[in-house]
Amino acid sequence: MCQDFSRLPEIIARHRQSSESLIMILQDIQQEYHYLPPEALTLTAETLAVPLSKVASIATFYNSFSLKPRGKNIVKVCLGTACHIRGARLIQDQLEHKLGISAGETTSDSEYTLEAVACVGACAMAPVVIVNEKYHGSLNVNKAAKLLKRK
Amino acid sequence: MENRFHVRPELCIACKSCELACAFTHSSLQGQPGKSRINIKVIKADESRLINTPLICLQCDEAACATICPTNALQWNLETGALVHHDLRCVRCHLCVAACPFGNIYFDPVTDYPVKCDLCDGDPMCVKFCPSGAITWLPLTEAEVNRIQPEINEEADTD
Amino acid sequence: MVTLTINGKQIKAPAGEMLLETIRRQDIEIPALCHHAAVEPFGACRLCTVEITRQSWDGWKNYVTSCLFPVEEGLIVQTHSSEVTRIRCTILDLLLASSPNSRVIQDLASEYGILASSYVVDAAGDDCILCGLCTRVCSELGMNAIATVERGRLKKVDTPFSEPSASCIGCTICAQVCPTGHIRFEERGLKRKIWYKEFKLIACSECGRSLKLTPEMKQYFSERQQLPEDYLEQCADCKQKQTVDRFNRIIDRSEEVI
Amino acid sequence: MCIKNSRQLKQVQRDFLTRDKQFTRKALICCGTGCLANGAQAIVDEFRIVMKKKRITGFSFEAVRSTGCHGFCEQGPLVIIEPEGIFYTKVKTSQVTDIIDTTIRKGVVIERLLFTNPVDGQKITHYPEVDFFTHQQRIVLRNLGKIAPHDIKEYIGNGGYAALDKALRRMQPQEVIDEISRSGLRGRGGGGFSTGRKWQTCADVESEMRYVVCNGDEGDPGAFMDRSIMEGDPHAVLEGMIIAAYAVGANQGYIYVREEYPLAVIHVQKAIEDCREIGLLGKNIFGTEFSFDIRIARGAGAFVCGESSALMKSVAGEVGEPRAKYIRSVVKGLYDQPTVLNNVETYANVPIIIDKGANWYCKIGTPKSAGTKVFSLVGKVRNTGLIEVPMGITLRRIIFDVGGGIIDDRPFKAVQTGGPSGGCLPDSMLDLPVDFDTLTANGSMMGSGGMIVMDDLTCMVDVARYFLEFLVKESCGKCVPCREGLYQLHGLVQKVCAGQGSEQDLDRMEQLSEVIVRGSLCGLGQSGPNPLLSTLKYFREEYLEHILHRRCPAGVCRDLIIYTINEKCTGCGACVKPCADVAITGEKKKLHVIDQDKCTQCGACMAVCNFDAVEVH
């Protein structure tokens, strides 16, 4: 895959050039590319003078980072306690079935990435699914299935 | 009063008593003799003459082995004046062995840790067992008078 | 100096010293797999856990890892009380389940009477117990070639992207400090392979024997410590020969003078 | 504009109030995450569009406020018309014109938009009359749902930053610490450590540099108190932090916010910028000698980063692995300097304590746990949402008075507090007063305030399994008891869920738990077995039922249940579609059947059936 990394220096330059900014820089890179390309990690490490191994360590330690390319649409199923006891597992099963992938995977056409996340803090409307940053609450299996624009 | 080794190769008869004394002094807990920290090197000077030289750590003031050690495993024992290698701090990087300009620190083939003279807590056994007086343990001033070390350096410098 | 009681015996120890060192100085055996004097204490393996209490605690006890706990005046320490042994046994039992093939773990566990793990054994489990010694010494040296990736049970030690790391100098100390021998390296003649990377080893300029040093190590350390480069070129044996040779010449000269 | 003295601050407040008086009515639209998800932004936009069309006197754009969370997320989007306090729930964009024409212009109430009391079916007109709100005492949440969180003038207009002014001008740092100590405020992050004592310790350590850090990494699943406060009243948190910094002598602060809370990040960021602009952050705050600044550190998804030492590592841009805290972080914390770390709610309590005094504050709540506590009341309870109650209130009053009881009037089974570090309490404990010490003594803990209510359809073994699964995923992996112990513990519970457990397994769970509690490095492991231990203690029969009779009474554990369709089936076919296993067959309008060989007991059919025709055994 050929990708344009010309925006990387600009993203990094937005932050204070200190290792303190590392996590936030990676978040911004992920925002832009939907994942963390190895090139981005290398450049970040060089710019901030942080060892590459530490950058890789951070990129894999925290949940929100992905080193694998993700789909165009990110579907997050909340598995917080409130959602769990209101049947989040059913919703997850349904979405997995519908997309034909397990949580954490991306469909072969790169349209959807399904992620199971711990609490998103919208517990009052459990169970919750977030599609591309938009919250959908008080779901049931059928409503959840309709969130995906595919048969 | 601080003492120093005073080595006189011309007196050495290569009996290796010093090596044995050292090896037994540094026996393992199980009673296995350790690797000797003193080494008698026998070199053919010419067709008719062999030179026997007991070689032992000089406890250099600015020791290369201690300087290069990345984990400070070599530390001075201020009581005995010995630069002592602490296995517990060692990460076996082999740098000290390579750094010693005289080859007086080696690897123990069994434990793979570097070994060097620790002056036997201030009472070197090799000296006690040397029958010919080739290696003696003299007060600093006396040893200094007889010392040939500066000449070695001078020699090395002109090389 | 502080005074404390270890297993009923009154002991003096320098203030600021970690309890583990004090205990070990008493010739009391306590296992500690993540501990190495060359790096800061870490507290990951928890095997050095001991029981502490004080006269004033009224029977209340606490369990602390001795590698990280500085000695305190009036502390009463038990290194092998039944609860401590139970904690240690459980940890060894757990380690034996996750690293069933490790000799070190097997031996240590059998010392505590555990011959087989009572938990679900991960047959594919490797010998790494994530003690962090390798990454810590690597970082201490300033290389940072390896670090942990992922977290929890997926955590492992690796180079970035599992590729040869530009910062690795092939010193193998990660393997040297590894308590279970999980990190391996290959060394044949003047070649060394570690962490997906191949190194040439420096040969003794006299006899050609391996110095067990890579040129990268030589460059890094001689620069860092400002040592003459020729200090790192010959093996101990050849250097001794040279020393004797010099002796020889000096003696010759002095004889001439006489 | 830069506020340099008390007079200028008062002026800003007066200006705001004068402007506010121009409006005969105001519309407060809740724009918390819950209401936004239900389309609150569209309501705000619609208000503005309609208002553009109709010119109304005494009402302008500024009178339409997008506020923070009211807490009653269940009923969103919420619109409140001030000054009457008329409370509209589940508002749709199509109804906005009506609201403007009828209520805002004429002050007439629209019946059908009112909230219906689920208990007696009565319509309730005014906001404070709703049961959900009557039993609450809102101190920390005083501004939530009342002010627009992104406007600093509204905060000042409502008395904000007066406490900071008082502290900086009329109190010595030591007096501030004494006041907080006397108030009896305890850390709201869960531990319940005395805030005053913490500040005192930090101030007493000799150091050039000190830090003040706010823990907004609300990782407990089932909790969103901090989120709502940061989103709805960020200035209260900042004011608390600045006062703390003044008290301990810190010049740099950090506020650590979860990345999962994008709105909170935006609002806090805006609040920080506004503060800098008017001189409440930066050099010479309020024209005094005191300088302090705050930076945001965004978390990236790691529960363990709620632990203080891990959080501080994360702030410094490192992997969030905890360290042993034999030297406490208040002495040696961020960058090894003395650091005060409190959570969002704790800081939000500070301004009002300084403002109204410790004597006023410590009269609220119980003698040992002063003040109020914010909870996120969720799960199988009717009124889910964010609540604030005085300490010492019983669980029963929270669940049945504020929460309105259990959904569908099912029997109450348990309430979970304290998240993955807390425990589950059964109905025999419903009359326990809620305070730090009572909950801990009974095997649960206050935690940061997640309160999850469970009914008889919740399997307690499954709940224990759920929390352990969560912790196994979230364990940083540094120490053995937590990494391997919780994993094995999860395996043992899983075995029970699968009907393969034995009674000995229960003993082994308890033994292993004890070692994990004693042997783990940080709080995550040390408290990790709590959900298991508390369910084992209070719901042991349910475990035994799984083991001895291979039965899951709640009908949750998939290996122990079967689904069947009874004669109530109308043959509507709703269950066929979600059945991933294609196990349900039947003709239209005729009784459907589940093929037990194909069924994987996912329960999707039961979840969608509108006729109670799917049964679980």
For position D490, what pLDDT does the model report?
97
Please calculate the CA angle D342-D347-D349 and round it to the nearest 5 degrees. Answer: 130
Whether the per-residue pLDDT at C254 is higher than 70: the answer is: no
CB neighbours of B32 closer than 8 A, spacing ≥ 6? B110
Do C88 and C140 belong together in one domain?
A: no
CB A113 within 8 A of CB A105: yes
In terms of Cβ atoms closer than 10 Å to its own Cβ (0-12, 13-18, 19+), residue C60 is exposed
Q: Does B155 touch chain C (CB under 8 A)?
A: yes
CA distance D21 to D82: 12
- Average of per-residue pLDDT across D379-386: 90
The DSSP H or E segment spanning C147 is strand C147-149
Mean pLDDT computed over every residue of chain C: 92
Q: Packing angle between helix D540-548 and helix D503-519, nearest 10 degrees?
A: 130
Q: Please name the amino acid found at residue C211.
A: L
Q: Packing angle between helix A38-48 and helix A52-61, nearest 10 degrees?
A: 130
Whether the per-residue pLDDT at D289 is higher than 60: the answer is: yes
Beta strands per DSSP E along D313-396: 339-343, 372-379, 385-390
Buried-state track D600-616, b at ≥16 Cβ within 10 A, e below 16: ebbbbbbbbbeeebbeb
Residue D255: strand, helix, or coil: strand
Using CB atoms, pick whichever of C69, C148, C152 lies closest to residue D475: C152
Inter-chain residue contact C148 with A57, CB threshold 8 Å? yes
- Average of per-residue pLDDT across D397-412: 93
For position D531, what pLDDT does the model report?
94
Question: Does the residue C246 lie in any domain?
Answer: no
Do C89 and C8 belong together in one domain?
A: yes
Name chain D contacts of C119, Cβ cutoff 8 Å. Answer: 488, 491
Is the omega angle on the peptide bond into residue D433 within 30 degrees of 0, that is, cis?
Answer: no
Do C139 and C196 belong together in one domain?
A: yes
A121-136 pLDDT tens trace: 888 888 999 998 888 9
CA distance D533 to D443: 8
Inter-chain residue contact C151 with A60, CB threshold 8 Å? yes
- Average of per-residue pLDDT across A97-121: 91
CB C238 within 8 A of CB C204: yes
Question: Which has more confidence, C237 or C169?
Answer: C169
Q: Locate tokens 């406007």: which residue?
A: D151
Q: Does D416 touch chain A (CB under 8 A)?
A: yes
**Best residue in A125, A132, A147, A148 to probe D by mutation, most D CBs within 10 Å?**
A125
For position B157, what pLDDT does the model report?
41
Task: Determine the CATH number of domain A73-145.
Answer: 3.40.30.10
CB D64 within 8 A of CB D82: no
Q: Packing angle between helix D225-232 and helix D262-277, nearest 10 degrees?
A: 40
Do C166 and C215 belong together in one domain?
A: yes
With cut-offs at 50, 70 and 90, classify the pLDDT of residue B152.
Answer: very low
For position D58, what pLDDT does the model report?
66
**Best residue in A141, A146, A148 to probe D by mutation, most D CBs within 10 Å?**
A141
Inter-chain residue contact C165 with A53, CB threshold 8 Å? yes
D317-341 pLDDT tens trace: 999 999 988 888 999 999 999 999 9
In terms of Cβ atoms closer than 10 Å to its own Cβ (0-12, 13-18, 19+), residue C21 is middle
Using CB atoms, pick whichever of D262, D320, D380 lies closest to residue A61: D320
Question: Does the residue C166 lie in any domain?
Answer: yes
DSSP D287: G
CA distance A118 to D221: 6
CB neighbours of D433 closer than 8 A, spacing ≥ 6? D366, D391, D392, D393, D394
Question: Does the residue C247 lie in any domain?
Answer: no
Do C224 and C140 belong together in one domain?
A: yes
**Among residues C240, D254, D556, D301, which one has the least CA distance to residue A59?**
D301
For residue C107, the enclosing domain spans 2-111
Residue B76: strand, helix, or coil: strand
Inter-chain residue contact A124 with D384, CB threshold 8 Å? yes
Whether the per-residue pLDDT at D136 is higher than 70: the answer is: yes
For position D128, what pLDDT does the model report?
85
Do C137 and C99 belong together in one domain?
A: no
With cut-offs at 50, 70 and 90, classify the pLDDT of residue B85.
Answer: very high
Is the omega angle on the peptide bond into residue D83 within 30 degrees of 0, that is, cis?
Answer: yes
What are the tokens at D322? Answer: 């905890």
For position A150, what pLDDT does the model report?
56
- Give Dmax (Cα) for chain B: 48
- From C111, C141, C168, give the residue that closes a domain: C111
For position C253, what pLDDT does the model report?
63
C121-167 pLDDT tens trace: 999 999 999 999 999 999 999 999 999 999 999 999 999 999 999 99
Using CB atoms, pick whichever of B93, B151, B152 lies closest to residue C171: B93
Q: Please name the amino acid found at residue A108.
A: S
Task: Determine the CATH number of domain B3-58+105-158.
Answer: 3.30.70
The DSSP H or E segment spanning C9 is strand C9-13
CATH topology of domain D372-458: Ubiquitin-like (UB roll) (3.10.20)
For position C252, what pLDDT does the model report?
67
CATH topology of domain D18-128: Glutaredoxin (3.40.30)
Using CB atoms, pick whichever of C151, C161, C167 lies closest to residue A51: C167
Whether the per-residue pLDDT at D62 is higher than 80: the answer is: no
- Average of per-residue pLDDT across C217-238: 87
Question: Does the residue C228 lie in any domain?
Answer: yes
With cut-offs at 50, 70 and 90, classify the pLDDT of residue D255.
Answer: very high
Number of structural domains chain C divides into: 2
Question: Does the residue C248 lie in any domain?
Answer: no
D482-533 pLDDT tens trace: 999 999 999 999 999 999 999 999 999 999 999 999 999 999 999 999 999 9
CA distance D595 to D4: 76
What are the residue ranges spanned by the domains of chain A?
8-61, 73-145
3-state helix, strand, coil in chain A (%, to 5): 45, 15, 40
A52-78 pLDDT tens trace: 999 999 999 999 899 999 998 999 999
What is the number of other CB atoms lying within 10 angstroms of the CB of residue D533?
Answer: 20
Q: Does A125 touch chain D (CB under 8 A)?
A: yes
The number of helix segments (H) and strand segments (E) in chain A equals: 7, 4
Give the count of Cβ contacts less than 8 A between chain A and D: 172
CATH 3.30.70.20 fits D562-617, yes or no: yes
- Average of per-residue pLDDT across B133-145: 74
Strand order in the sheet with A134-136: A112-117, A73-78, A129-131, A134-136
CB neighbours of D206 closer than 8 A, spacing ≥ 6? none
With cut-offs at 50, 70 and 90, classify the pLDDT of residue D104.
Answer: confident
Q: Pairing state of beta strands D123-124 and D211-216?
A: unpaired
CA distance D197 to B157: 66
For position B148, what pLDDT does the model report?
46
Give this prediction's pTM.
0.92
Is the omega angle on the peptide bond into residue A38 within 30 degrees of 0, that is, cis?
Answer: no
What are the residue ranges spanned by the domains of chain D?
18-128, 152-361, 372-458, 461-548, 562-617
Give the closest-approach CA distance of D139 to chain C in angstroms: 38
CA distance D493 to D512: 12
Name chain D contacts of A123, Cβ cutoff 8 Å. Answer: 222-224, 376, 378, 384, 450, 452
CA D402 to chain centre: 16
For position A146, what pLDDT does the model report?
87
CA D332 to chain centre: 29
Give the closest-approach CA distance of B19 to chain C in angstroms: 15
Neighbours, chain D (3 or more CB pairs < 8 A): A, C
Q: Locate tokens 């630069």: which residue?
A: B83
Q: Does D458 touch chain A (CB under 8 A)?
A: yes
CB D335 within 8 A of CB D411: no
D453-475 pLDDT tens trace: 999 999 999 999 999 999 999 99
Q: What is the DSSP string of C156-172?
A: EEE-GGGS--TT-----
Whether the per-residue pLDDT at A2 is higher than 60: the answer is: no
Instruction: Report percent pLDDT > 90 for chain C.
Output: 81
What is the number of other CB atoms lying within 10 angstroms of the CB of residue D196?
Answer: 22
Task: Determine the CATH number of domain D461-548.
Answer: 1.20.1440.230
- Average of per-residue pLDDT across D212-241: 93
Q: Taking CA atoms, what residue in C is nearest to A54? A: C147
What are the tokens at A93? Answer: 């099963």
B28-81 pLDDT tens trace: 888 888 889 998 888 776 777 777 888 888 888 889 999 999 999 999 998 888
Mean pLDDT computed over every residue of chain A: 89
CA distance C43 to C63: 13
Whether the per-residue pLDDT at D428 is higher than 50: the answer is: yes
Residue C6: strand, helix, or coil: strand
| CATH architecture for the domain at D152-361 | 3-Layer(aba) Sandwich (3.40)
Distance in angstroms between the alpha carbons of the first and the last residue of chain B: 35
